[in-house]
Structure 1
Amino acid sequence: MGKQVLVVGAGLAGLSSAMFLAQRGIDVLLVEQRADTSMLPRAVGQNQRTMELLGYGGIAEEVPTATPTTATFRIRIAASLPGPAFREELPDAVTADTGILSPAGTGTAGQEKLEPLLRRRAEKLGADLRFGTELVSFSQDGDGVTAVLRESGGAQTTRVRADYLVAADGNRSRVREALGVDRHGPGGLGHNISIIFDADLGDLVDPQRPTLHVLHNEQVAGVFVTMDHAIGRHLLTTAYDPAKGQSPTNFTTARCAELIRVITESPNLEPAIKAVVPWEMAAAVADRFRVGRVLLAGDAAKVTPPSGGFGGNTAIGDAFDLAWKLAAVLDSTAGPQLLDTYEAERRPIADRVVAEALRLLADRGPASPAEGTEQISDQQRAVELTLGFRYRSSAVIMEQDDLADTEDPYRPTGRPGFRAPHVWFRRNAEKLSTINLFGSNFVLLSGMAGGFWAEAADKVAARLGIAVRTHTIGAGSAETDREFLARYGIGTSGASLVRPDGVVAWRTADAPSDPAQVLLDVFTTILAR
């Protein structure tokens, strides 16, 4: 049996990969040894960048989002839920107005709710998803990957041939280990137990004020969050230490109930324990994201502590980047070298988010950080990481002597490598954001005097066999034109080329003497033709 792409693992990275690939017409098979999607909210919340990508995938409207009254997500560090807080972390005024950054909101779904959405969408788009199926072994050659699969608990195996394999099989990735890829970073940070339980906690939890409780007392060192206010479902995660003889077997139903009574200060509470799941906290980044025809994504490529919520968001970012590049290579509109840009672009992002998650983890102890140690807030850092990131690779034509790796997304510059800025404009009677134009093909944006770019793009697209959409922004609105030109850093006859992932690939301030030839050279470089 042959497939274009085999995806191993059905976490956020794997399911997103299957969805984005199937959306691009790729024949994709996903295998997962578990029987179903996760029931744990391991990754909670979707930042605006992730919601943009999920919008491109067609499911953003199904993801619950924060409203103005619930957007004030706070982190409360205390010994218990009703006890006094050691301190609280609240959104600051600098990053409060996220509406000027993107038309997308922020999602509030836990992994246990997002994975089924991804699964249904991937299946609807034609992806072949096989739960209860494990990867036994694989090998690769110059033309593809041969994998041996087996239904969980069964003896009979099946051989599958694929052009490429996406390893999304988690922190302890067997694919990564089989490839001999080492990792850098602290590695294991501790052992944890997640307890899902139902209980009516009354005024201890406020559905109008989502809160992550970071708890520190003699019996519990961990976090508490409400998963579903409607049914009173909550999650308590606490650490245990094997060096002290502790193990998951210590967390009996009675022991879990007692810990819940401790954090709620409710000695008579009888919580209904729904699940008790052990897991390891870790921080590490793979030294390589691509080995031949095998590419690592999600926790197989990097794993972060849960602080900051970067892990799941970064996994979906990996998936989108891989999907458009794999699709371009598989349909021969790009050379295989385009896949080298996946590691060049995504591994620096992984290093940054792991470092930030570790910093946040260290700052969320019972003691307050020393005064004067923070120059910018956690919210500002997060916004720059998720919307002010920069890619550097052969798929971006950088401007000379431009060494910046991040920028303030509230003051976008439109420079190549950065995410294309959000600007509102009108097309006919419809109000759109520039962000709404991306996600599928390359898009060439120009100012009011740049109508000639459409003809040039059509010539290049026909010659290379690629799809390029062109848009003249601001026609009929001087205000929109000024904002667009300022944010994208071009003149009225200039142009900005935006990749399918919404990242600026190239720009020119003014019209060159031969626009078609310039575009041809640009696409030839970006697509490794």
Structure 2
Amino acid sequence: MALTKPDVDVLVVGGGLGGLSTALFLARRGVRVLLVERHATTSVLPKAAGQNPRTMELFRFGGVADEILATDDIRGAQGDFTIKVVERVGGRVLHSFAESFEELVGATERCTPMPWALAPQDRVEPVLVAHAAKHGADIRFATELVSFQAGDDGVTARLRDLNTGAESTVSAHYLVAADGPRSAIRESLGITRHGHGTLAHFMGVIFEADLTAVVPPGSTGWYYLQHPLFTGTFGPTDRPNRHTFYVRYDPERGETPDDYTPQRCTELIRLAVDAPGLVPDILDIQAWDMAAYIADRWREGPVLLVGDAAKVTPPTGGMGGNTAIGDGFDVAWKLAAVLRGEAGERLLDSYGAERSLVAHLVVDESLAVYAQRMAPHLLGSVPEERGTAQVVLGFRYRSDAVAAEDDDPEPAEDPRRPSGRPGFRAPHVWIEQDGTRRSTVELFGDRWVLLAAPEGGPWARAALRAAGELDVRLDAHLVGRDVADPSGELTRAYGISRAGAVLVRPDGVVAWRTAAAPGPEAQDLLSALFTRLLAR
């Protein structure tokens, strides 16, 4: 990094879920961040709806979980959310994938203290904007990136205010590219992608209509449509009588987005819901491509890719927006550590190494779901489903920021039977702290955390001394003194025996552990460990 102080520490380009999450998580860590977004406002469309428990853990770390949970979601009053393959809404069911929202919850509730949420993107983004700004982030809508130059001394960018046409220059230590699947920043850097590529072309329609005769009041769901005349989807939004309809079109048959006029879309909606006389109020029609791509590099010097700029995944399974938020947290805590001097520049190399592993898990899972629900011809040519719990909570990081203790090649494990090994998310165990029942997960999110077993007090003291000398922010907890383990489960779940210790990163991922009792060299061992993990 250059010694000259730039205008901001980090410039984020793109104000979707990935960019706004990055800005929020950076701002909470005291980083001077500027976000620019070419659109005039946050998303006006529901688009990515639903937050899995890992995302909700990160939102808790970011201080917005309660507000997201309080947001109106896309379920009906009964709380049911069915997922069905049908010929038409209300018609013959070809296959049902979930009978209720509770089935999703049941797959993960033993693994985390955080629930699922079903807030749509147009409700979530304003929350992220408000909290990012509260913590000092500069958020500018109707502002586009005109050009940028990146080098060893950081980034210089040219910005344009789309309301006035005025241009300005801003300098930053780092640039986070959150500018979507067609990322101009990624393209300008010559970063290539791999993957299945474009899978299908869709027209997305947002419309309003009273469909109580088709969808029973108080119950909603997502429908994959296998109509004799077209393939598509139908789903709800968080607003009464507002719905989404996606229909596939095929350029190889000469079809183009221009064919999907309001009149044509009205005809298709009538067929989809089996309501010949319906007069929908069409609010928006947009073309988009369903695709699967992963960037070959996630970092180029001071530029890092986040969200759809780094990977594009089919929406089947609802993991794209969640993964973008995960990217935002990972890049934010690492950038903050480097900017604070806690870590060396090479820590940023672990960002792509780790998040690309998650991207492959997510894309493979989404492809498997896509094949089952919409493209049976792909069955056998795409990976089989691992299951929601493994992908969302059982992923494993492998990088220099983790002290791996084995060479197990599996990218995920069943989080309902966690191993506590380095690289995996730290297990959820109910504990007591200051007389309050809470989860081990609630200890993480801001600083490094060392948990010492009941007879591992010297590990805690050695860790605090080592962290103090290296200016690493650390909390140390001794089981039995600082936190109580009423079930006796903590030491088993973390694999630290009666005298060992475990070191957990700010993102709640296990970095290192030992079951051994501490010796006189404990502080030196931990100093060397911090130096290695933080690329100092």
The TM-score, its normalising length taken from structure 1, stands at: 0.94
**1:146 matched to 2:156:** yes
Q: Is the 8 A contact 2:499 2:518 kept in 1?
A: no
**1:161 matched to 2:166:** no
CA–CA separation in structure 1 for the residues paired with 2:363 and 2:78? 27
CA–CA separation in structure 2 for the residues paired with 1:494 and 1:7? 41
2:82 is aligned to: 74
SS at match of 1:480: coil
The counterpart of 1:104, out of the listed 111, 114, 137, is 114
CA–CA separation in structure 2 for the residues paired with 1:51 and 1:247? 39
**1:389 matched to 2:395:** yes
Residue correspondence of structure 1 range 166-315 to structure 2 within 5 A:
166-206=176-216, 208-228=218-238, 231-315=240-324
The verdict on how the C-alpha distance between 1:490 and 1:70 changes in structure 2, with shifts beyond 3 A counting, is: farther
Aligned residue identity for 2:13: V
CA–CA separation in structure 2 for the residues paired with 1:241 and 1:403? 39
CA–CA separation in structure 2 for the residues paired with 1:186 and 1:456? 49
The verdict on how the C-alpha distance between 1:484 and 1:419 changes in structure 2, with shifts beyond 3 A counting, is: same
Aligned residue identity for 1:98: T
The verdict on how the C-alpha distance between 1:363 and 1:175 changes in structure 2, with shifts beyond 3 A counting, is: same
Residue correspondence of structure 1 range 444-455 to structure 2 within 5 A:
444-455=450-461
SS at match of 1:452: helix
Aligned residue identity for 1:166: V
1:520 is aligned to: 527
2:3 is aligned to: none
Deviation at 1:350, TM superposition (A): 0.9
CA–CA separation in structure 1 for the residues paired with 2:373 and 2:173? 45
Aligned positions, number: 525
**1:114 matched to 2:119:** no
Q: Is the 8 A contact 1:216 1:366 kept in 2?
A: no
Deviation at 1:102, TM superposition (A): 0.5
Q: Is the 8 A contact 2:207 2:242 kept in 1?
A: yes
SS at match of 2:389: helix
The counterpart of 2:475, out of the listed 469, 473, 495, is 469
Deviation at 1:405, TM superposition (A): 2.5
Q: CA RMSD in A?
A: 2.5
Q: Deviations over 1:445-469 (max 9, x none)?
A: 1222223333212211210111100
The verdict on how the C-alpha distance between 1:403 and 1:359 changes in structure 2, with shifts beyond 3 A counting, is: closer
CA–CA separation in structure 1 for the residues paired with 2:476 and 2:76? 35
Aligned residue identity for 1:445: L
Q: Deviations over 1:411-432 (max 9, x none)?
A: 0011000000000011122111
Q: Deviations over 1:469-510 (max 9, x none)?
A: 011235599863620011101112111100000000000102
The verdict on how the C-alpha distance between 1:512 and 1:139 changes in structure 2, with shifts beyond 3 A counting, is: same
Residue correspondence of structure 1 range 397-408 to structure 2 within 5 A:
397-408=403-414
Deviation at 1:203, TM superposition (A): 4.6
Q: Is the 8 A contact 1:21 1:323 kept in 2?
A: yes
Aligned residue identity for 1:517: D
CA–CA separation in structure 2 for the residues paired with 1:167 and 1:476? 41
SS at match of 1:202: coil
CA–CA separation in structure 1 for the residues paired with 2:220 and 2:389? 19
Deviation at 1:233, TM superposition (A): 1.0
Alignment gaps of 5+ in structure 2: 1-5
CA–CA separation in structure 2 for the residues paired with 1:207 and 1:446? 53
The counterpart of 1:40, out of the listed 40, 45, 52, is 45
Aligned residue identity for 2:450: L
The counterpart of 2:325, out of the listed 316, 322, 335, is 316
Q: Is the 8 A contact 2:451 2:460 kept in 1?
A: no
Alignment gaps of 5+ in structure 1: none
Aligned residue identity for 1:19: L
Moved more, 267-276 or 294-303: 267-276
Q: Is the 8 A contact 1:77 1:366 kept in 2?
A: no
SS at match of 2:489: helix
The counterpart of 1:442, out of the listed 441, 448, 458, is 448
**1:6 matched to 2:15:** no
What is the percent sequence identity of the aligned residues? 48
Deviation at 1:400, TM superposition (A): 3.8
Deviation at 1:85, TM superposition (A): 0.7
Q: Deviations over 1:271-316 (max 9, x none)?
A: 1111112212111001000000000010000001111111111100
Deviation at 1:46, TM superposition (A): 0.9
Aligned residue identity for 1:22: A
Q: Is the 8 A contact 2:367 2:383 kept in 1?
A: no
The TM-score, its normalising length taken from structure 2, stands at: 0.92
